[in-house]
Amino acid sequence: MLTDEIANALVPKDLPEMSLSEAATDRLERDQDRDGDFRDEKDDVEGKEPSRRDENTLSKRILYWNDLLQQIIGENRYRMLDYLGKHPWHSERGYPHLENEGIYFSTGFVELPKRLYADGLAQKSRKQTPYIFGASLIGLEKHIDLSGRSPFIDLGEFDMRLKGLPLILEKGSSRYFSTPNLIDATSTCWASCAGWLVLTAAHTFNWVNHGQNVTLEGGVDGNVHAVANYPIDGALVHIDQNPPQNIVRITPEPCPQPNEPYEFYGMKSKTVSGNVTTVSVLPGVTSSMEPARVRLDTGGQPGDSGALVRSLKTGNGLSIYSGVIDTNGQTYQISQGLDQVANVFSIDLWE
């Protein structure tokens, strides 16, 4: 599992010279408002300026460096794909949506298969941990050609500020934890939008059309009210029930961070907790061409799909648990960004 000790060893100690994105700036300000100025009581002496111990905290370093990684990948993703030696994304349609084409980018802490520990760049950058801090590109078999070459690229080739941070290229495939119907899955939460609805993962019933009858956990009958465009993994189900009167609002997190502690409760696994490893989230973007993904270091099993993944740091909703991506020697737990789903449907979320 990812720990603070591992994260601290891998993230550069100094902040990069850069301008934070609007979303990262907002997250930084919210974190500082919540955590205060970290004054050291030893400095609470008359006439002495209190120190701020949060100048280069681990969470701040992660936020800055991860934001830079996302910015540079956003500017250079097709140059990065050129390194693969194949060009499946070129077509008469121009540049189609990457995830539908089997290409998955994410940034943060990437757990390595043991077979790659001794690779030159990985050996240096992982610092005797199972992780690297950098970026991940996972593609389907037909889209990735790694024959005769290292699966790592030094991101300094795209921006010198990232020199020494790796991009790992892997072959893989998604494996959603689908079930025959929602009675064997997990509902995420209540949603309000011209009436009360239940939010869950769309893959649990294979992105079926509006109006189809489904059965939810507890044997409650419902029908599909709305489904996000594939591969955004969210759907709304109408049932003939209203929520309890003491429900409270859920705040979706627009800017999840690597190493953020989380917890979810699934129908099969019950309580699961861990840390976010990588993220692929463009705050405010609702297009299915850019599905928001939050990767986790600990996941669940079939039946847990749809569970609300909540930040233990902020209390905000991070994502909807989905399933796994299998690669050669490694399995990654994936979830759908909650803020994107809330924006797609223009809904408020409650529990």
pLDDT in tens, 219-268: 778 888 999 988 899 999 988 888 888 999 999 999 999 999 999 998 88
Any domain includes 311: no
Any domain includes 289: no
Any domain includes 294: no
Total count of domains within the chain: 1
* CB-CB contact of 199 with 234 (8 Å): yes
Any domain includes 251: no
Q: Above 70 in pLDDT, residue 53?
A: no
Residue 128: both structure tokens together: 């005797």
Residue 164: both structure tokens together: 């020494």
Strand partners of residue 326: 173, 331
Tell me which residue range forms the domain holding 58: 4-171
Any domain includes 35: yes
pLDDT at residue 55, as a whole number: 63
Any domain includes 188: no
Quote the CA–CA distance of 187 and 198 in Å, as a whole number. 7
| 3-class DSSP state of 24 | helix
Any domain includes 228: no
Any domain includes 111: yes
What predicted TM-score, i.e. pTM, was given to this entire model?
0.87
The mean per-residue pLDDT over the stretch 5-28 comes to 96
pLDDT at residue 97, as a whole number: 46
Q: Above 70 in pLDDT, residue 50?
A: no
CB atoms < 10 A from the CB of 33, how many? 9
pLDDT averaged over every residue in the chain: 83
Q: Above 60 in pLDDT, residue 99?
A: no
